[in-house]
Amino acid sequence: KLVQADQCVTCDQINEALQQLKGAVMIVYPMGLPPYDPIELEFKNQEELEGTQDSLDVIPEADLTLWFSGKEMHRGKLLSDSVGKNEKTKVIVKIQKKGNAAPARERVVSDDEQKQMMAYYYRKQQELKKLEENEDNSYMDSEWADRNSLKRTFQGLNDIKWKPR
φ/ψ (deg, to 5) at 77: -85, 155
Q: pLDDT band for position 154 (50/70/90)?
A: confident
Beta bridge partners of 122: none
- pLDDT, average across residues 117-140: 85
8 Å CB contact between 58 and 49: yes
**Alpha helices, DSSP H, located in the chain:** 11-28, 38-43, 79-83, 111-133, 149-155
8 Å CB contact between 52 and 75: no
pLDDT at residue 51, rounded to an integer: 72
Question: How much of the chain exceeds pLDDT 70, in percent?
Answer: 96
Q: pLDDT band for position 165 (50/70/90)?
A: low
Q: Quote the pTM value.
A: 0.44
8 Å CB contact between 54 and 82: no
Residues in the chain: 165
Q: What is the pLDDT of residues 27-81, one digit of tens each?
A: 999 998 888 888 888 888 777 777 777 777 777 788 888 888 888 888 888 888 8
8 Å CB contact between 96 and 65: yes
**Residue 164, SS3 per DSSP:** coil
**Residue 72, SS3 per DSSP:** strand
